[in-house]
C-alpha cells in the first residue's frame, strides 16, 4: 500500500506530467510546405510559377485555363510545347478524407508527363502522421511516363506485361491508389481532348474482333466505295516538291511529271474483303498461316517506285512502308512478307507489284482502330548519304466488318482494395466471428476462469500485433468526424469502403454497440487499449505498485474525454482539417499506425501514456479518449443487458467493484455501461463460488451438511465398535454434574 500523502503526491505529479505532454502534442506545428490550398493560387504566384518552370524549363508564356477538361497551354517562342492542369478540375476522385488530392501536372505535346506537384490534400494520415514528403516522392514517379501508360501501385517488382509499377506509400495504400487513379485519369483525359494521343490508346478500349462469319460477294468497285480498299497516289511532281532545295548530287533521278506510285491497300482478315480479293483458296491458305492476334495487309501498286524497295535483302527490314496506329510504329521484316500471286475480285485493275504484309501479335494491332500507311521516299544526295520524305494514307476498317466489346467500366478503387486484402479480411473476419461466439456463450465460458484469462490475453495480443501494427486497423475519432462531416456534405459509401479492415471493424462495432455497448471495442478491439492492458499485466506480474484514483476524483476525470470530443466536433464544423490536426490528442497514429517512428514530441506523448498505464490501468482510455466518448453516446441505445448482477452486489459486497480494472462499477453495485470495457472479470467472479461472497456462503452451507453427516457416521461407527461392558457402563452411568 502507498501512504495516503505519497499517493496524493504521485497523483499530482502524474497529472501535471500528462497535461504537459498533452500541451506539447496539441501545440501548433509548422504546416507541411505544400499542403497550402483550399483555393486556387494563380499561375503567377511564386511557388506555382517555380513549379511550372521546372516542368517546362524553356517556356516563356503560360496561358489561362480553358476547354473541357480545363487545361492551360504552355508556349515557347509562340510555339505550343505542352499543357498544365489541376487534377481536382479534371478528375476529382475523393480520397479517404472524402476530398480529392489536387496535383498540378504538366504534359508535353507528345502526351508525356513532365512534372507533378501536390497542391492540396486532406488525408488524415498525411496531415498528422506519415511525412507528407512521401506523397511528394510518390507523385514524382510519374514524371517521364506517358499519359496512356497503365500503372500498378506496389505489388511484385515485375508487374504484369503492359503495366508500369510505382512504389506505394507505406502505411497509406488507399491514398496511393487514389492518387494513382487521379493522375492517370486526368492526364489521359487532357491528352485525348487535346489530340496528343489517340482515344483508343488513352482509354485502353477492348480489342475489336473481326466478324469472321460475315461474307457477301463484292466487286472492286464495291470495296473501293465503302472504304475497304484505300488508294494513295504520289506523283513525281509531289516528290520533287518535297525534295525542293536539297543540295548535292542526285543519284536517283525522279521524272518531272507523271505517276510516281499508284498504291492500293486493304485489310485482308475480314472475309468480305480478303475472300473477294484473293479468292477462296488463297484466302483460306493465308488465314491458316496466321497465328492468333496476327493481321494481313495487302498492297498493290503501279509506277516506277516500288513499295518493297530495291535494296531489300533477306534478314532486313522493309524500309519504304510501315504502319502507325495509336503512336505505335509497326515495322515489317523479311519474314513478314508474302507474295500476292493474283487477284480474284471482279473489276480489279492490273498491277505491276503485289504483296501481303503480316502484322505480328506483339504490336497489339487493333483492326477496329484507324491506322496510317506511311510510304517513305528516299533521295540520294551523296554516295552513302540520303534524305527521306513521307507520304501518308489513312485507313479505317468499315464498321460492318468488326465488333468491339463494350468497354468495361473502370473498377472502383475500393473493389481493388478489397480484393488485394482478402487474406487480411479473412483473418480479421474469423477473429471477429470467434469473439462473437465467446460473447454469446459468455455465461457458460466465464465459469472457466483460466480459459477466459488465457483467451483474453491471446486475443489482445492478436488485436495489438495483427489488427493494429500489421493491418493498421486502429479506429480513430477522425473516422467519426469524417462520417459526421459526410452526412452534411454528401455521403459516399465508397469513401468508407476504401479501407476494408476499418470498414469491417466499424460495422462490427456498430452492431456491438446495440448488443453489448461500447465495451466490446474498448476492451477487445482497440490496439492501443490492448497495448495498455498488456503492459499493465506485465507490471502486475513483477509487482509494481498500482495507483488507484479515489472514486470521487475518478468520476470527475471521466468528463475530460467528453469535453475533448465536444471540442473536436466544434472544430470540425468550422474546418475538418483543423479538427483532424487537434485529434492528435489520440496517440493511435504514433503508437499503432506509425510504430512510434515519428517526431519526438509525439513519441514522448504516446510513450508517456503507455508508461502511465503501468501504474494505473488504461489511464488514457478512462479519462482522455474522445473515441471512447463518441462510442458511449450511441451505446446508450443498446438493446440488451448481458452482465449479470446479484442483489448483494454493493450491499454489502464490493469484490467486483474493487477488482474492476476500469473502476466502472459503482459502490452501490451498478455497472456504468458508458465506461465498462466488457473485460468479463466481474462475470468470472459472479460465477466463482470461491470469490463471490453470496456464492461462498451458499457453498459453505452445502458443505456443512455432508460434514455433519460424516461426523455422525464416525460417532456411530465408534460406538458400534466399543466392548459390551464399556457400552453398559456408558448406558447406566449418570451424567456428571
Residue 176 banded pLDDT, cuts 50, 70, 90:
confident
Average pLDDT over residues 120-141: 80
Quote the pTM value: 0.64
Lowest mean pLDDT among 51-60, 84-93, 561-570, 574-583: 574-583
pLDDT band at 7 (very low <50, low <70, confident <90, very high): very low
Lowest mean pLDDT among 95-99, 113-117, 712-716: 95-99
Which has more pLDDT, 75 or 389?
75
* pLDDT at 237 > cutoff 90: no
Q: Is the pLDDT of residue 701 over 70?
A: yes
Mean pLDDT on 635-643: 86
Report the SS3 class of residue 340.
coil
Instruction: State the pLDDT at residue 98.
Output: 63
In tens, the pLDDT along 411-429 reads 676 787 788 788 999 999 9
Q: Determine the average pLDDT of the residues in 277-305.
A: 95
State residue 39's pLDDT score. Answer: 34
Residues above pLDDT 70, as percent of the chain:
82
Q: Is the pLDDT of residue 14 over 60?
A: no
DSSP helix/strand/coil, 395 = strand
> Which cell numbers in the block locate residue 84?
498544365
- What value does the mean pLDDT take over residues 403-414? 76
432 DSSP 8-state letter: H
Helices 500-515, 626-635: crossing angle, 10 deg rounding: 50
What pLDDT was estimated at residue 17?
A: 45
Handedness of CA 434, 436, 437, 442 (dihedral sign): positive
Mean pLDDT to the nearest integer, 299-316: 77
Higher pLDDT, residue 44 or 103: 103
Q: Please indicate whether residue 16 or residue 619 has the higher confidence score (pLDDT).
A: 619
Lowest mean pLDDT among 306-310, 506-510, 634-638: 306-310
Burial class (CB in 10 A: 0-12, 13-18, 19+), 301: buried
Q: Tell me the mean pLDDT in the region 33-58.
A: 60
Question: What is residue 668's predicted lDDT score, i.e. its pLDDT?
Answer: 82
- 675 vs 248, higher pLDDT: 675
Is 197 a residue whose pLDDT tops 90?
Answer: no
Contact 78, 27 (CB under 8 A): no
- Lowest mean pLDDT of 207-221, 318-332, 604-618, name the range: 318-332
Identify the pLDDT of residue 351. Answer: 95
pLDDT digits (tens, 9 = 90+) for 645-689: 888 888 888 888 888 888 888 888 888 888 899 999 888 888 888
Return the minimum-mean-pLDDT range out of 149-163, 346-360, 534-548.
Answer: 149-163
- pLDDT at residue 370, rounded to an integer: 93
Tell me the pLDDT band of 129, cut-offs 50, 70 and 90.
Answer: low
**In the structure grid, which three cell numbers stand for residue 286, read together?**
493465308
Q: Higher model confidence: residue 424 or residue 123?
A: 424
pLDDT at 170: 61
pLDDT at 30: 35
Q: Which of 258, 233, 434 is nearest to 349 (CA)?
A: 233
Residue found by looking up cell 503480316 in the block: 358
Mean pLDDT on 489-498: 76
The pLDDT of residue 77: 73
Residue 270, pLDDT > 80, answer yes
Check pLDDT > 50 for residue 377.
Answer: yes
Range in 35-39, 262-266, 379-383, 715-719 with the lowest mean pLDDT: 35-39
Q: What is the mean pLDDT of residues 176-192?
A: 86
173: confidence class by pLDDT, cuts 50, 70, 90: low
Give the integer Cα–Cα distance in Å for 143 and 117: 10
Average pLDDT over residues 233-247: 80
- Predicted pLDDT of residue 378: 72
Residue 479: what pLDDT? Answer: 86
**DSSP structural state of residue 249:** -
| Residue pLDDT, tens place only, 73-86 | 888 877 889 999 99
Cell 476530398 sits on residue: 99
Confidence of residue 256 (pLDDT cuts 50, 70, 90): confident
Average pLDDT, the chain: 82
154-158, 167-171, 401-405, 509-513 — which is least confidently predicted? 154-158
Residue 227 has pLDDT above 90, yes or no: yes
Residue 155 pLDDT > 90: no
* 569: pLDDT strictly greater than 80: yes
Contact by Cβ (8 Å): 625, 549: no
Which is more confident, 107 or 250?
Answer: 107
Question: Which three three-digit cell numbers place residue 221?
Answer: 468497285
| pLDDT at residue 734, as a whole number | 52
Amino acid 511: pLDDT: 94
404: left (phi over 0), alpha (psi -120 to 50) or beta: beta
Instruction: Provide the sign of the torsion angle of the four alpha carbons 380, 381, 385, 389, taken in this order.
Output: negative
* pLDDT band at residue 36 using 50, 70 and 90 as cut-offs: very low
Which of 151-155, 188-192, 214-218 has the highest average model confidence (pLDDT)?
214-218
d(C-alpha 472, C-alpha 540), whole Å? 28
Euclidean distance between CA atoms 645 and 26, whole angstroms: 42
pLDDT above 90: percentage of residues in the chain? 39
- Which segment of 135-149, 448-462, 477-491, 608-622 scores lowest on mean pLDDT? 477-491
Neighbours of 22 (CB within 10 A): 18
Residue 157 to residue 584: CA distance in whole angstroms: 35
Mean predicted confidence (pLDDT) in 636-651: 85
**Which is more confidently placed, 202 or 272?**
272
Q: Give the number of other Cβ atoms within 10 Å of residue 251's Cβ.
A: 12
**Residue-level pLDDT at 171:** 58
**What's the sign of the alpha-carbon dihedral 501, 185, 145, 95?**
negative
Amino acid at each position: 500500500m502507498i501512504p495516503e500523502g505519497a499517493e496524493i503526491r504521485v497523483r499530482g505529479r502524474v497529472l501535471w506530467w500528462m497535461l504537459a505532454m498533452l500541451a506539447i502534442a496539441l501545440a501548433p506545428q509548422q504546416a507541411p510546405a505544400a499542403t497550402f490550398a483550399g483555393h486556387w493560387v494563380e499561375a503567377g504566384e511564386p511557388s506555382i510559377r517555380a513549379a511550372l518552370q521546372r516542368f517546362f524549363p524553356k517556356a516563356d508564356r503560360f496561358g489561362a485555363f480553358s476547354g473541357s477538361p480545363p487545361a492551360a497551354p504552355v508556349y515557347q517562342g509562340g510555339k505550343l510545347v505542352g499543357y498544365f492542369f489541376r487534377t481536382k478540375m479534371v478528375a476529382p476522385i475523393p480520397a479517404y478524407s472524402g476530398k480529392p488530392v489536387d496535383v498540378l501536372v504538366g504534359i508535353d505535346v507528345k502526351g508525356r508527363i513532365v512534372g507533378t506537384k501536390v497542391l492540396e490534400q486532406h488525408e488524415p494520415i498525411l496531415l498528422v502522421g506519415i511525412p507528407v514528403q512521401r506523397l511528394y516522392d510518390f507523385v514524382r514517379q510519374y514524371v517521364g511516363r506517358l499519359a496512356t501508360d497503365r500503372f500498378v501501385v506496389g505489388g511484385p517488382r515485375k508487374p504484369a506485361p503492359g503495366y508500369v509499377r510505382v512504389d506505394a506509400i507505406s502505411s497509406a495504400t488507399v491514398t496511393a491508389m487514389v492518387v494513382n487513379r487521379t493522375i492517370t485519369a486526368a492526364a489521359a483525359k487532357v491528352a485525348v481532348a487535346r489530340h496528343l494521343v489517340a482515344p483508343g490508346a488513352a482509354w485502353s478500349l477492348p480489342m475489336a474482333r473481326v466478324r469472321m462469319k460475315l461474307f457477301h460477294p463484292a466487286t472492286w468497285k464495291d470495296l473501293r466505295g465503302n472504304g475497304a480498299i484505300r488508294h494513295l497516289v504520289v506523283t513525281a511532281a509531289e516528290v520533287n516538291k518535297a525534295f525542293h532545295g536539297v543540295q548535292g548530287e542526285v543519284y536517283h533521278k525522279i521524272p518531272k511529271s507523271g505517276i510516281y506510285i499508284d498504291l492500293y491497300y486493304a485489310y485482308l482478315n475480314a472475309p468480305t474483303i480478303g475472300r473477294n480479293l484473293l479468292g477462296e483458296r488463297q484466302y483460306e491458305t493465308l488465314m491458316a498461316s496466321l497465328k492468333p492476334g496476327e493481321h494481313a495487309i495487302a498492297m498493290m501498286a503501279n509506277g516506277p517506285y516500288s513499295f518493297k524497295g530495291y535494296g531489300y535483302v533477306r534478314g532486313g527490314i522493309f524500309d519504304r512502308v510501315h504502319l502507325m496506329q495509336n503512336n505505335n510504329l509497326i515495322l515489317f521484316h523479311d519474314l513478314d512478307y508474302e507474295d500476292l500471286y493474283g487477284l480474284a475480285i471482279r473489276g480489279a485493275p492490273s498491277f505491276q507489284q503485289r504483296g501481303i504484309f503480316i502484322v505480328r501479335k506483339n504490336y497489339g494491332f487493333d483492326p477496329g482502330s484507324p491506322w496510317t500507311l506511311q510510304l517513305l521516299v528516299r533521295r540520294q544526295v551523296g554516295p552513302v548519304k540520303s534524305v527521306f520524305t513521307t507520304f501518308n494514307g489513312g485507313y479505317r476498317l468499315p464498321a460492318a466488318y468488326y465488333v468491339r466489346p463494350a468497354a468495361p467500366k473502370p473498377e472502383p478503387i475500393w473493389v481493388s482494395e478489397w480484393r488485394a486484402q482478402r487474406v487480411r479480411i479473412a483473418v480479421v473476419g474469423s477473429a471477429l466471428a470467434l469473439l462473437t461466439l465467446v460473447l454469446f456463450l459468455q455465461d457458460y465460458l466465464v465459469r472457466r476462469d483460466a480459459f477466459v484469462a488465457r483467451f483474453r490475453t491471446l486475443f489482445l495480443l492478436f488485436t495489438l500485433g495483427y489488427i493494429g501494427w500489421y493491418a493498421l486497423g486502429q479506429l480513430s475519432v477522425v473516422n467519426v468526424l469524417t462520417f459526421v462531416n459526410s452526412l452534411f456534405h454528401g455521403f459516399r459509401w465508397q469513401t468508407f469502403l476504401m479501407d476494408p479492415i476499418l470498414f469491417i471493424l466499424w460495422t462490427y462495432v456498430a452492431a456491438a454497440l446495440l448488443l453489448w455497448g461500447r465495451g466490446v471495442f474498448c476492451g477487445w478491439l482497440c490496439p492501443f487499449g490492448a497495448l495498455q492492458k498488456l503492459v499493465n499485466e506485465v507490471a502486475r506480474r513483477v509487482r509494481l505498485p498500482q495507483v488507484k484514483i479515489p472514486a470521487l476524483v475518478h468520476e470527475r476525470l471521466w468528463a475530460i474525454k467528453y469535453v475533448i470530443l465536444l471540442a473536436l466536433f466544434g472544430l470540425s464544423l468550422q474546418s475538418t482539417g483543423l479538427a483532424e490536426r487537434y485529434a492528435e490528442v489520440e496517440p493511435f497514429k504514433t503508437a499503432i499506425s506509425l510504430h512510434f517512428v515519428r517526431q519526438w514530441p509525439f513519441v514522448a506523448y504516446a510513450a508517456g501514456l503507455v508508461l502511465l498505464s503501468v501504474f494505473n490501468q488504461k489511464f488514457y482510455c478512462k479519462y482522455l479518449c474522445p473515441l471512447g466518448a463518441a462510442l458511449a453516446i450511441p451505446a446508450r441505445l443498446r438493446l440488451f443487458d448481458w452482465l449479470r448482477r446479484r442483489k448483494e452486489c454493493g450491499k454489502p459486497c464490493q469484490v467486483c467493484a474493487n477488482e474492476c480494472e476500469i473502476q466502472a462499477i459503482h459502490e452501490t453495485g451498478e455497472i456504468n455501461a458508458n465506461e465498462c470495457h466488457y473485460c468479463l472479470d466481474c462475470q468470472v467472479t459472479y460465477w466463482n463460488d470461491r470469490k463471490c461472497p453470496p456464492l461462498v456462503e451458499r457453498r459453505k452451507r452445502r458443505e456443512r451438511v455432508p460434514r455433519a453427516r460424516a461426523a455422525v457416521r464416525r460417532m456411530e461407527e465408534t460406538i458400534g465398535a466399543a466392548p459390551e461392558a464399556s457400552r453398559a457402563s456408558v448406558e447406566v452411568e449418570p451424567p456428571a454434574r
